[in-house]
Amino acid sequence: MKLTQQEINTHSYVIGANKLKRLCQNHFKHSPLNFFEPYKIYKNDDYCGLMSDDHWADYFLQKGYQHSGIAKFQEVHLKGEYTLWSFSEMFTIGECAKKMRQDCIDFNYGNGITFIERHSRYTQLYYFGARTEDKTSNEFFIENIALLRKFILYFEEQCRQDKYLFNAYNKKYTCRNEIEILPEHLNKKSSTSNNEFNLPLRRVYFQALAHEFYLTESELKCLILIIQGFTLKEIAKIFNLSPRTIETHLQHAKEKAGCSRLRELIQMTLPKLKNFIFTN
């Protein structure tokens, strides 16, 4: 059923886009990125998500693309931890799919990368896209895997601090599988870059078996160095703190995660910390 303009203006995609757009503009201005879209795809085919382009969000709803099942099909097709893709190679079957592909190109959406996190109740998809005319975007994505992961953690933190953004992001809809998607898969190893978004990251969120918890940047820095093989004394020297303070940070992290042993905490957090870099 086609939405009225009033319904579009009050839709979570549009409300969320106005918030997410400002968040992205502050950190994407020196990069080729021109959009960011996070989605959660639940096992029962419900989904929720956001768009950083308010004009695209409005147009997307006018066209009724929210019923296309795009996110659900990508959740099924995408493999690995991340996948590079191009709009020219996606949405290749069906008239609705072809129209959406052309609309994406008309909105200057070219290549992109999607990060995939699979949880027990849902799959998390994070889309980053670059301008059509940018011919070096794939190189940017590969060289900045860690940086993009850091932005994802920053987004999650901001989402929990802004109730309007949080509510828009967690508004659930039901998928209708009307589109067949054939994405291009490129398996390339990530590398790191000296480029930095100026992200005031203070918390990183994790999903435990029965609850969600967060760790502070200080707790995570200590944990990452422990994973890398540093001792408490060595970590204390790096941060000019006492070994007792480092031990307290790690103890707080275990308590938040509901772990009695450091090994359990590492096993729980390591998948999300892969390729993640903190800078002093």
Task: Provide the number of structural domains found in the chain.
Answer: 2
Helices then strands, counting H and E runs in the chain, come out as 12, 8
Question: Distance from CA of residue 27 to its chain's centroid?
Answer: 14
Q: What are phi and psi of 164, to 5 degrees?
A: -70, -40
Tell whether pTM > 0.85.
no
Question: Distance from CA of residue 274 to its chain's centroid?
Answer: 14
| Whether residue 46 is found in the same domain as residue 135 | yes
The domain boundary, picked from 193, 218, 251, lies at 193
What is the identity of the amino acid at 217?
Answer: E
What tens digit of pLDDT does each residue of 83-112 get? 888 766 665 545 666 788 788 888 888 888
Is 279 contained in some domain? Answer: no
What's the confidence (pLDDT) of residue 51?
94
Q: Return the CATH number at 218.
A: 1.10.10.10
Q: Return the CATH number at 49.
A: 3.30.450.80
| Whether residue 22 is found in the same domain as residue 93 | yes
| Whether residue 112 is found in the same domain as residue 170 | yes
- Domain enclosing residue 247, as ranges: 205-273
| Whether residue 184 is found in the same domain as residue 216 | no
Per-residue pLDDT averaged across 166-179, rounded? 76
